[in-house]
Structure 1
Amino acid sequence: MKKTPIIIACAFILGLAVVLMIFIKVNMPKQYKIAVLNYSPAGEQALAGLTQGLARNGYVQGKNLELIYNGVKTDKKLLKIEAEKLIKEKPDLIYTISTPSTLIMKELTAISQTPIVFGPVSTPEEVGIIDNMKEPGGNITGVTFGPQEPRRFEMMIKLDPDIKDVLIPYNPNDLSPIAGVKMISDVAEKLGITIKPLKINGTSELETKLYGYTDNFDAIFTPTDAMIVSQTALISKFAISKNVPFSCPQTEGVKLGALFAYGFSVENVGIQAARVVHMILSGTNPGSIPIELADFTLAINLNTADKIGIKVPQYLLKNSFIVRD
């Protein structure tokens, strides 16, 4: 009989603890887990943009967001190993930076259908990531900058009409620049320009192949290529030493010494991708979200123009992002 008050007290305390635990659980913010797979050092800027964009939408690391990122994997074998590790973490969503990253994750999520948001990727339809820009279907959507190479190539020729031969370093193991080189080839043929593709299988051989190149060229033009974009500073230095114009696809590259870019900001692509991520985490089916197009900007480095003796027409300067001392 004397034990009854003790039992009642214990039951009351236990019940109170259960109620308290339920209250805490109900009032805790939902935790989201996002895995990131990155093939290119230049993609770090996209990740920075993604983090900014997510914070604007209320996703903060250490509060309601766990971002799983183990650095750049420029070797495709290591990239796949990393992708498999990330899948085992069972994330709510995967953010892929570059075409190789996205293709690998598409393959590995075929069964689980974990949502994937890519950005940047240049030609998602052509390389087989999606079937349709308006209704990508499946578990993938993202941000692309579309085929900007033809327009940018034409602008380069207008900038320097004396150009006849163009050197194009690219990664032959990446479907995105392969598609880009084809587009460049088509527009170059119409303009009567000779293109000289230079296959670069890894960043370690780029400098040797550039400085060892003996054929004539009047300009350097790089397609949207995750590996080559990461080496923009090196190519810029080489182009200036040869006194030739160099055009890259990303506006950040102009700050590194490229003469001009007509294309996207890698960081802004990440910010844009964050909005897509928010839609998916809020319940929208990724396959129903149309692929978004990145904003294009014309960027010109006037310091580089002075160094190589190029006079930039005033009409190009009016609406451009200008880099100069």
Structure 2
Amino acid sequence: MTKSVRIAIDAMGGDHGPEVILPGAALALAQHADLEFIFFGDEARIKPLLAANPRLAAVSSFRHTDVEIRMDDKPSQALRNGRRTSSMWQALEAVKKDEADAAFSAGNTGALMAMAKVCLHMIPAIDRPAIAVLWPTLRGESIVLDVGASIGADAQHLVDLAIMGSAMARIVLSLARPTVGLLNIGVEEVKGIEEVKAASRILRETPSADFDYRGFVEGDDIGKGTVDVVVTEGFSGNIALKTAEGTAKQISAYLREAVRGSFASKVGYFFARQAFQALGDKMDPRRVNGGILLGLEGVVVKSHGGSDAVGTARALEIGYEMVRDQLLRKIQNSLSDRGEADAARIAASEDDAVRP
């Protein structure tokens, strides 16, 4: 019998807490019968929800916690007040103790990142974590990282992001060798800051068997789906993400306004409603909800704080896929291969330097 995937859930995180998170878990369970859950949070709110859903209760356990990390808590404050005793920390610690295969939270992103680094630690050779998200494109979906875990990046960190993002793409997008691009202000090799250009040189000089590096991509290439994995540092990645989310809401508002504009437009909508529905489905942020915190010695899923049960279920399913398809092992194998390639490149350059 296939081993189940157990996810430890910070049930108090997000804007809605357990009243949305538990129904989301129930939806995920309906898609993956081999899921199990450990819920951490307030007994008075969680126990009645479990009692109302016997199927979910049958595959779940519960542990009461007294401390809830607020969405406006600073990471340092969350670590000081919520370490060891909060629902967020307890979910992460369950992964550390091998009681769960992945941790899930819709709570404070900065607090989750800080706690995850302290509790789970970083993968050897990775200095900083990254948040990777699915991004709807004209070709389907792409992976974009980092979208806000840390600000700034040197060349080696960008190379590490390419390795980790491609490992995720091989799982989520079912690609044997995904294409990777570095986000830049132009596709010409002379453009961009030195760290980005240096990362591009490294990726070109040491090709990987795990991904196909395609060079620089620009902002409009993200939506086009020009490459399967778009790599950038967290500052520009977060701006790109928030801009895309805002643009999607703006277009939706324009469409609603146009449909209500006149009798003729209402008639037109009646005949084109299936097309509008298809457009709405493609633009639905719940479909791609769930960021993965990469670089940690454990699988951690971050859901959007305002997501509903459907979006929560999708984020849990992404976590399920990361565990089932062994994301951490894929990243570690890729890092090992990259290290060997870098050593060979350095040795070759040293030989060239001493050769008469």
What TM-score, normalized by structure 2, do the two folds share?
0.32
Bigger radius of gyration among the two: 1
Larger relative helix fraction:
2
